[in-house]
Amino acid sequence: MRLQTSTGYKIIADWLANKGLHPFTFQEETWQHIINGKSGLVNAPTGCGKTFSVFLGAVIDFINKHPGNWQSKAGNGLQLLWITPLRALAKDIGRAMEAVIGELNMQWKIGIRNGDTDMSERQRQKRKMPEVLIITPESLHLLLAQKGYPAVFEHLQILAVDEWHELIGSKRGVQVELAVSKLVALRTPIVNRESAIGNSSLRVWGISATIGNLDQAQDVLLSPVYNISPVTGELRGETGVIVKANIRKDIVIESIIPDEIEKYPWAGHLGLKLIHKVLPILNTSRTTLIFINTRGMSEQWYQALLTAAPDLAGAIALHHGSIEQELRIWVEEALHTGKLKAVVCTASLDLGVDFRPVETVIQVGSPKGVARFLQRAGRSGHSPGDVSKIWFLPTHSLELVEAAALKSAVEETFIESREPMVLCFDVLIQYLSTLAISDGFKPDEIFEEVRSTFCYRDMTHIEWTAILEFITSGGNALAQYDEYKKVEVIDDVYRINSRRIAMRHRMHIGTIVSEAMMKVKFVSGGFIGVIEEWFITRLSPGDVFTLAGRQLELVTIKDMTALVRKSNAKKSIVPSWQGGRMPLSANLGKKLRQKFEEARNLTSGAVSREAEVRNTKPEGRNKKSGKPKINSGDRLTATHSPLTIHHSPDIELQVLNPLFQLQEQLSHVPGANELLIEHIETKDGYHLFVYPFEGRLVHEAMAAILAWRISKITPITFSFAMNDYGFELLSDQPIPVDDTNVYDLFTADNLLTDIQRSANATEMAKRKFRDIAVIGGLIFQGYPGEQKKARHLQSSASLLFNVFSEYEPGNLLLRQSYQEVFDQQMEEVRLRNMLERVRGSKIIITFPRQLTPFCFPIKVDSMRENLTSEKLEDRVRRMQQYLNSPSP
DNA sequence: GACCTGCTGCGGGCTG
């Protein structure tokens, strides 16, 4: 059968043609696969119709199955389940789907199920499910926690997972994997699969933006569909398909360049010095999004814009995750109805404006990754054929190189991968409890289902048994506490019979664990947002702080709510929120290293280098102190690749030429295949600066390891500092790192043991364990509205951590917390890759006679602790003035 | 359990 003759296809194609659209716009290839019973992944830039391609595929499929009466047919139950990570997206998508259904005169109902869905709607859904249900991963698990849930999915044809790239790298993604395994098994039980031909009758479709590991993303989502034999590991069904839209989005990236690069700060994160260059951009664009990396800095930018251009009052707004939901919704609406010229925002506006374009985007500071930068650029020029325009505003001089790096990364579509998580036992425990409060489960069946997912495919029988033991008896360590004996076993069916436990569990479904927040509310009523508990407890009544762009005076704290009134005080404290510490991505780091090499090649023409380059080791090394006796300004090893410039250099690199010249004079600008190490002596002591450009997490771990390894050579103590470009070891005695030992110090051998000895893994694991314990249901966070204090949470978590460490060291959750430290906190894989890279590269050690442009930002960050910001700014200015006019 | 600049996201429904 040729596809085009199918009734559904024709109806939809004609319908689109009537509207002047070609089916291709909506990736008709997807329709074909859906009708043919395939599962797969759709990949296209935003605004290219990938959402509609899956939805229309489901519509065509329905028409084909009910050829005579598709317009009158309803009440078949749930046909299409649509998972989306954001509640806010559900409304937009639902509205768009309803419009299509309306025009086709179909009898489908589109329903939304998430935390915002009210009770009556939930009950309506329970009596009769709509044909399409848009849901969050959490709410889907809540459905699985209802008695008789299999009936809900009896007629389900298609499961769509929207924004899969957003979910795959997190535990929310694992929740989706488990849900997929369950829904697939409901249609084709695992026990029948040995004999089943082909795939499950349920078709699973992921919808994803471009990521580096698209194939893997597909495998992770579809793993339960693939029908892989649990015995032999052999693939018995078909694999899925990837549908890519061949649309290339044009993106224009432009840097905001300081007029006098010599005077632009070498360090800093805020970038307000360039605010005068932002104003003209706002004026010439209808709507602008200004992305700021942190909530605190976004508050500062908002204030600064109003001060710089008071006429903007009322035309600009602020948007971040700690601002009250209603205010945020108002801002979003006002932006798109044209009431606002600009919105200062954080990652809170990364997603969710798909159906409402803006004209211009400004990125302030490093976006930390290529994917995030592209995502933000894509907020503008949203229609197919439009050009996305994004401005990059550097917050310090060296950061300007990132613009050049981003340009070539975007050009090459060098986009980060999102690594799926594996063996998350906390999520598994939560899932099993979910099944236990609805219909109960039989371990043998569920074991196979769970192992059909990517996350748990390597789970052993021993681990599985330990999990079952844990949920029924509390395991070895907690056996004496009844509250951990949640699940009862009757006739080999595992169930939770206690209504109280079931109720508590429902409230704790989900994998997002937040800091303890306190609501902020006007005395006169009206919520403004939330602030972290630790921050507000440092304030006293009468203190003025900033939130949602307002000056607020703290009046009192009552019922875990901070009551405030408006204030006209000149000075106010800007809150800081404890957020993720998104490190520079590996991709962007690599591009940066390449750009530095280009910059050096550009510079080398200008600098006379004959006198500097030495290929031989200097003589007269003082073995005792380990400090080589050489003149400052000399280098130990330095060989340069011949000067090659393949294309015209980026404007950013040209502008930064004076900075690179100075760096080259004082030290060295490292090439892509070099690791630069600087020994600098100041009145603070002996500094060792190292520049791997691997993001601050790797640097943090590497600094600890290096310190540990050096201390084995000679007894020595250090303090550390680091940023995304490099790290610093500081000591009061000379640091014995030279060309005789440097490769050994940076070896990947014994990495794991050295990590364990150097970094305080136990302390880090303890922190990770808190989230794991909450997700696994070991800690009750309190009923909604009466959240427990952070202190309580922390103390019960660390109590449990200690109990496990002492009485059950093999506990799976304990093990997981250490694993998460290695994987996420230290980025062990990346650390190892870095060391492997260093092994094959040239290590350049220099001895600059003063601070260099490279080390400057790290040095400044390490001073920050002891100084107020004004004093710091003064000191930085003085340091830089001195450096810009170097005296011999 | 500290904050050194540090994002976002979710979340009862029984039995009457």
pLDDT per residue as tens digits for the range A21-47: 777 666 788 999 998 889 999 998 766
Helix (H) or strand (E) holding A205: strand A203-208
The tokens for A157 are 């044809």
Residue A843 CA to residue A739 CA, distance in Å, equals: 8
Residue A155 CA to residue A136 CA, distance in Å, equals: 20
Distance A654 CA to B9 C1' (A): 41
Residue A131 CA to residue A154 CA, distance in Å, equals: 12
Is the per-residue pLDDT at A887 higher than 50? no
Quick one: DSSP state of residue A812?
H
Is the per-residue pLDDT at A227 higher than 70? no
Lowest mean pLDDT among A266-270, A301-305, A352-356, A519-523: A352-356
pLDDT-derived band of residue A616, with 50, 70 and 90 as boundaries?
A: very low
pLDDT-derived band of residue A533, with 50, 70 and 90 as boundaries?
A: confident
The top-scoring range by mean pLDDT among A17-31, A456-470, A626-640, A780-794 is A456-470
| Pairing outcome for strands A360-364 and A387-393 | parallel
A78 Cβ contacts chain B strand, under 7 Å: no
8 A C-beta contact, residue A292 and residue A347: no
Distance A175 CA to B5 C1' (A): 32
Helix (H) or strand (E) holding A751: helix A751-758
pLDDT-derived band of residue A634, with 50, 70 and 90 as boundaries?
A: very low
Distance A421 CA to B12 C1' (A): 29
Angle A812-820/A761-775 helices, nearest 10 degrees?
A: 120
Distance A52 CA to B10 C1' (A): 25
The top-scoring range by mean pLDDT among A67-71, A200-204, A313-317 is A313-317
Lowest mean pLDDT among A272-276, A344-348, A639-643, A661-665: A639-643
A30 Cβ contacts chain B strand, under 7 Å: no
Look at residue A635 in the predicted model and tell me its pLDDT: 39
- Which CA-bearing residue is nearest the C1' of B6? A581
8 A C-beta contact, residue A448 and residue A243: no
Q: How much is the mean pLDDT over chain A?
A: 86
**Nucleotide nearest A795, from its CA to each C1':** B1
**What SS3 state is found at A430?**
helix
Distance A483 CA to B12 C1' (A): 20
A862 Cβ contacts chain B strand, under 7 Å: no
Nearest to A76 by CA among A188, A145, A139, A153: A153
Provide CB contacts within 8 A for A170, sequence distance 6+: A421, A511
The tokens for A449 are 């289902």
A871 Cβ contacts chain B strand, under 7 Å: no
Q: How many CA atoms lie within 13 A of A622 on its CB side?
A: 10
Strand B contact nucleotides, protein CB < 7 Å: 1-15
pLDDT-derived band of residue A779, with 50, 70 and 90 as boundaries?
A: confident
**What SS3 state is found at A86?**
coil
In percent, how much of chain A has pLDDT > 70? 85
Bigger pLDDT: A749 or A884? Answer: A749
Is the per-residue pLDDT at A608 higher than 50? no
Look at residue A364 in the predicted model and tell me its pLDDT: 96
Residue A860 CA to residue A756 CA, distance in Å, equals: 29
**Nucleotide nearest A505, from its CA to each C1':** B12
Q: Do domains A71-241 and A251-411 have the same CATH topology?
A: yes
Look at residue A795 in the predicted model and tell me its pLDDT: 76
Residue A89 to residues A86, A163, A337, A803: CA-CA distances in angstroms? 5, 10, 18, 43
Look at residue A49 in the predicted model and tell me its pLDDT: 78
Which whole number is the average pLDDT over A818-833? Answer: 92
Residue A829 CA to residue A823 CA, distance in Å, equals: 7
Distance A170 CA to B8 C1' (A): 12
Dihedral sign for Cα atoms in the order A60, A65, A69, A73: negative
Residue A423 CA to residue A427 CA, distance in Å, equals: 9
Distance A30 CA to B2 C1' (A): 50
Look at residue A593 in the predicted model and tell me its pLDDT: 96
Residues 145-204 of A with CB under 7 A from strand B: 145-147, 170, 172
8 A C-beta contact, residue A389 and residue A252: yes
The tokens for A267 are 């360090």
Distance A295 CA to B6 C1' (A): 9
pLDDT per residue as tens digits for the range A671-713: 999 999 999 999 889 999 999 999 999 999 999 999 999 999 9
Question: Phi first, then psi: what are they for A354, rounded to 5°?
Answer: -55, -40
Distance A571 CA to B4 C1' (A): 23
Which whole number is the average pLDDT over A197-207? Answer: 76
Question: Phi first, then psi: what are they for A36, rounded to 5°?
Answer: -80, 10
**Nucleotide nearest A722, from its CA to each C1':** B4
Look at residue A788 in the predicted model and tell me its pLDDT: 58
Distance A45 CA to B13 C1' (A): 40
Distance A87 CA to B9 C1' (A): 9
Residues 741-770 of A with CB under 7 A from strand B: 767, 770
Residue A436 CA to residue A542 CA, distance in Å, equals: 51
Nearest to A345 by CA among A292, A274, A394: A292
Is the per-residue pLDDT at A236 higher than 80? no
Number of Cβ within a 10 Å radius of residue A712: 11
Length of chain A, in residues: 888
**Nucleotide nearest A268, from its CA to each C1':** B5
Look at residue A870 in the predicted model and tell me its pLDDT: 56
Bigger pLDDT: A498 or A189? Answer: A498
Work out the widest C-alpha separation in chain A, in whole angstroms: 94
pLDDT-derived band of residue A606, with 50, 70 and 90 as boundaries?
A: very low
8 A C-beta contact, residue A587 and residue A696: no
| Pairing outcome for strands A80-83 and A132-135 | parallel
Is the per-residue pLDDT at A615 higher than 50? no
Distance A859 CA to B9 C1' (A): 34
Task: Tell me the fold of A71-241.
Answer: Rossmann fold (3.40.50)
Look at residue A875 in the predicted model and tell me its pLDDT: 67
Question: Phi first, then psi: what are they for A854, rounded to 5°?
Answer: -70, -45
Residues 34-73 of A with CB under 7 A from strand B: none
pLDDT-derived band of residue A571, with 50, 70 and 90 as boundaries?
A: confident
**Nucleotide nearest A515, from its CA to each C1':** B1
Question: Phi first, then psi: what are they for A259, rounded to 5°?
Answer: -65, -45
Bigger pLDDT: A863 or A146? Answer: A146
A133 Cβ contacts chain B strand, under 7 Å: no
* CB burial of residue A732 (10 Å; 0-12, 13-18, 19+): exposed
* CB burial of residue A183 (10 Å; 0-12, 13-18, 19+): buried
Dihedral sign for Cα atoms in the order A92, A95, A100, A106: positive
Distance A798 CA to B12 C1' (A): 28
First to last CA, chain A: 83
pLDDT-derived band of residue A636, with 50, 70 and 90 as boundaries?
A: very low
Nearest to A728 by CA among A862, A835, A627: A862
pLDDT-derived band of residue A229, with 50, 70 and 90 as boundaries?
A: low
Quick one: DSSP state of residue A528?
E
Which whole number is the average pLDDT over A871-884? Answer: 67
Is the per-residue pLDDT at A468 higher than 70? yes
**Nucleotide nearest A84, from its CA to each C1':** B9
Number of Cβ within a 10 Å radius of residue A462: 10
Q: How many CA atoms lie within 13 A of A49 on its CB side?
A: 21
Which whole number is the average pLDDT over A222-238? Answer: 71
A39: left (phi > 0), else alpha (psi -120 to 50), else beta?
beta
- Which CA-bearing residue is nearest the C1' of B5? A269
Residues 260-279 of A with CB under 7 A from strand B: 269
A127 Cβ contacts chain B strand, under 7 Å: no
Residue A119 CA to residue A563 CA, distance in Å, equals: 30
Residue A307 CA to residue A670 CA, distance in Å, equals: 41
8 A C-beta contact, residue A591 and residue A408: yes
pLDDT per residue as tens digits for the range A406-465: 999 999 999 999 999 999 999 999 999 999 999 999 999 999 999 999 999 999 999 999
The tokens for A476 are 């070895």
pLDDT-derived band of residue A75, with 50, 70 and 90 as boundaries?
A: low
A798 Cβ contacts chain B strand, under 7 Å: yes
A594 Cβ contacts chain B strand, under 7 Å: no
8 A C-beta contact, residue A252 and residue A378: no
- Which CA-bearing residue is nearest the C1' of B15? A499
Quick one: DSSP state of residue A362?
E
Domain A251-411 in CATH 3.40.50.300 = yes
Residues 424-463 of A with CB under 7 A from strand B: none
pLDDT per residue as tens digits for the range A152-176: 998 899 999 999 999 999 999 999 9
The secondary structure of A247-297 as a DSSP string is -PPEEEEEE---S-GGGS-SS-S--GGGHHHHHHHHHHSSSEEEE-SSHHH
pTM score > 0.85 for this model? yes
Question: Residue A358 is which amino acid?
Answer: V
Is the per-residue pLDDT at A283 higher than 50? yes
Residues 339-358 of A with CB under 7 A from strand B: 346-348, 350
pLDDT-derived band of residue A640, with 50, 70 and 90 as boundaries?
A: very low
8 A C-beta contact, residue A114 and residue A90: yes
Domain-wise residue ranges, chain A:
71-241, 251-411, 425-511+760-825, 517-566, 586-759+839-884
Residue A98 CA to residue A76 CA, distance in Å, equals: 18
pLDDT-derived band of residue A618, with 50, 70 and 90 as boundaries?
A: very low
Residue A414 CA to residue A732 CA, distance in Å, equals: 43
Strand A316-319: give its sheet, edge to edge.
A250-255, A387-393, A360-364, A288-291, A342-345, A316-319
A587 Cβ contacts chain B strand, under 7 Å: no
